[in-house]
Chain A
């Protein structure tokens, strides 16, 4: 049991007192002491009632301790002096006198509520930054990205894209327009692209290729490379429909959207991968957040490219509404419609916006019938598969 000396009454003080354990912070020596809760502070006395230390109430701090123990330290102290009190009556007496000890933890709870509120605000501000700040920031940075860097980026992306798209490993024959019987189609394509490029007058050189893919789609890479899928040409009923899609992709090149996407993706990775931390694990929440935000970005980027297409088609003398017509046809085709919808959200709104354009006077198709027929056949059927294997082996 505690062997508190019965000498207490001899001291002319009625201050509550009791046994405690004291560590002075310079050594691990365990001192069993008597603590007196005086008027201004705690008096720490050894077994012979010699004063070891005095701690004033305002400097007292409650330190982490198990239940039933009041562990005290001093604020602003580099030494880790500690006082441990298990005596419930003494604990209550000290808590009555020292406001800093926050009995019941009300101050701590208030502080914690503030932390939660600030964290919520920080989270909300990061989301707002992601939705509005990142696209604005990307637009500001883009003028400072040299075109040479963009071209290099495009070449790096091109290699990846080619290997992803060329699922049948066709190699060079994956690109149409260079095989037997395909050259007139290529010439027609060059003519169409030339007309659009003249009207656009871009600082970068456009490099358009048609690839053997059945989907009605087209894509622009950073640096001026554009891939048109064979399936899109099959869907197009007039040269202006194809030209409208091409003009849309040229819009991506003109707006430098490839670089924009790289910058935005990097920003998103920073905000959602690093700042917020993957608190759930597995990355699914991060991926979901990125997907949602990216589709919000792409909506803006796509309508900007549509606007560019309309302007460019007017400048080139074609029908600016043809883009709307081919988009509507693609959407109505359910088989491929879903994929397009995923890439280009709210296609119906886009079509409506394009249809709202007023066309000044009659337009002439950008290609004549003969060139259009040749372009339609830019992808001649490939020879049988066995033959390809043999040509590969022959190399």
Chain B
């Protein structure tokens, strides 16, 4: 196994392994989902902590596993702190909105920007909490720097992504990852991100053309097809004008061309999503640096497609089982309600069954997704990665302190997907 003097010299690469077992993870997830329902979601802090402890401690880098040292009570505290901040803030916003009723749109826009900023702030701080609770070889990771510049930066990038219909996405990702990794360190070993936007752009461009392309083409084609002078004339005229007939004709064409374009886009997006995920994960892992340590990913796209096929299969089976159970429940309840000739009772039964089915399906599908997709992607990402220059990991000095869970709490309370 190991020699007393530690790692043998001349072997600077280190393999990454994922030791987690799917059976254990199923049990963890199903038990957690059941407790979430029973406690109306209050159990989520303990559930998230259990999940992280499991995932972290089963990632092995160069023979040593990671460790998650966060506590559920810290997440609960962060959440309560976030509520204490958000309630006065929301109250103030409501008051302002009421006072300036005339400038409703402006108020709404400002509030939207504020919430987006706060969401990005929360995500950055949540990352800090998680990193400072991640321990490897007795040394913690950490993240420094203020979260506000990041929030502003992220808002600007995402605006640009929206304006360019996603073309700026690679550069946004590269830039934000660079920002995050430059403020990340493992002990005193500084992090860095070397993935470039242009590399991601070149790989992602075919996907963009296939998904966004049809809509752009359809839009341009329709713009060329429409006789703008005639259209202007039509808009000016009343509805009863004979030109309305032509308008209906064009409306039909818009419907057909637009529908076809959107349909093509949706199908392309669904078929290409696993490819996109593989591409992103490979690019991200291969861009990570810690001092002299470099990472490369040998992730194969086919593996990601296999994961999603398995997911679809599981969801189909699950829905079949739930549908059978639901049909049985409807049958039994209608028999019961029929006995008493009580339409109000039948209505109550129907609502309860609908709500119950919704909860079971939503939680079930999310559990299946977490196990069959997220867990498998975690495994795939870890196992495809290889570290070079790993001997730099041997002499890292500890630094940094655990940070507060406010970011996690804010992300949870704002619903931006923290926990």
Which residue numbers of A lie inside 8 Å of B, CB to CB? Answer: 1-3, 21, 23-32, 47, 63-67, 69, 71, 78-82, 84, 112, 115-116, 119-120, 122-123, 126-127, 149, 152-153, 155-156, 266, 270, 274-282, 284-285, 288, 389, 393
Contact = CB atoms under 8 A, between A and B. Distances in A.
Given A28-B396, A30-B7, A80 B138 contact: yes
Contact of A123 (B42, B412, B415): B42
- Top 8 A-B pairs, shortest CB-CB distance: A23-B138, A279-B41, A119-B39, A119-B42, A123-B40, A28-B396, A64-B53, A277-B41
Interface string B50-85: 000110111010001101110010000000000100
A3 B38 contact: no
B4 A23 contact: no
B41 A278 contact: yes
Interface stretch (B312-320, B355-363, B376-384): B355-363
A28 B135 CA distance: 10
Given A66-B65, A152-B101, A23 B43 contact: no
A122 B2 contact: no
Given A3-B3, A156-B101, A285-B358, A279 B19 contact: no
A389 B355 contact: no
Given A122-B39, A270-B87, 5 more contacts: A26-B398, A30-B137, A71-B67, A152-B98, A285-B359
A126 B39 CA distance: 11
Contact of B65 (A2, A69, A123): A69
A278 B42 CA distance: 10
B1 A81 contact: no
A35 to B, nearest CB: 14
Nearest to B21: A67
A64 B238 CA distance: 73
Nearest to A123: B40
A84 B43 CA distance: 30
A69 B7 CA distance: 19
Contacts of B138: 23-25, 27-28, 79-82
B140 interface: yes
A25 B398 contact: yes
Interface residues of B, number: 62
A274 B238 CA distance: 50
A26 B69 CA distance: 17
B381 to A, nearest CB: 17
A329 to B, nearest CB: 21
A284 B98 contact: no
A82 B44 CA distance: 28
Given A28-B394, A82-B138, A66 B58 contact: yes
B40 to A, nearest CB: 4
A82 B140 CA distance: 12
Max chain B C-beta neighbours (<10 A), residue from A29, A47, A126, A270: A29
Contacts, number: 155
Interface string B394-413: 11111001000000000011
Contacts of B4: 3, 32, 47
A26 B397 contact: yes
Contact of B39 (A64, A120, A266): A120
Contacts of A284: 355, 358, 362
B60 A30 contact: no
Interface in B101-155: 101, 135-140
Interface in B23-46: 35-44, 46
Nearest to A79: B398
Interface string B346-359: 00000100010011
B265 to A, nearest CB: 24
Contacts of B334: none
Contacts of B412: 277
A80 B135 contact: yes
24 contacts: A2-B1, A21-B64, A23-B138, A27-B395, A28-B395, A29-B394, A30-B7, A30-B64, A64-B57, A66-B65, A71-B67, A78-B401, A119-B35, A120-B38, A122-B42, A123-B42, A156-B101, A266-B94, A274-B83, A277-B42, A279-B40, A279-B44, A280-B358, A281-B366
B328 interface: no
B6 interface: yes
B358 to A, nearest CB: 5
A288 B355 contact: yes
Contacts of B99: 152
B86 interface: yes
A276 B40 contact: yes
A71 B7 CA distance: 20
A318 B41 CA distance: 53
Given A27-B396, A276-B41, A280-B358, A65 B67 contact: yes
Contacts of A79: 138, 398
B44 to A, nearest CB: 6
Interface in B372-396: 393-396
A279 B57 contact: no
B37 A279 contact: yes
A80 B36 CA distance: 32
A64 B53 CA distance: 6
Contacts of A288: 351, 355
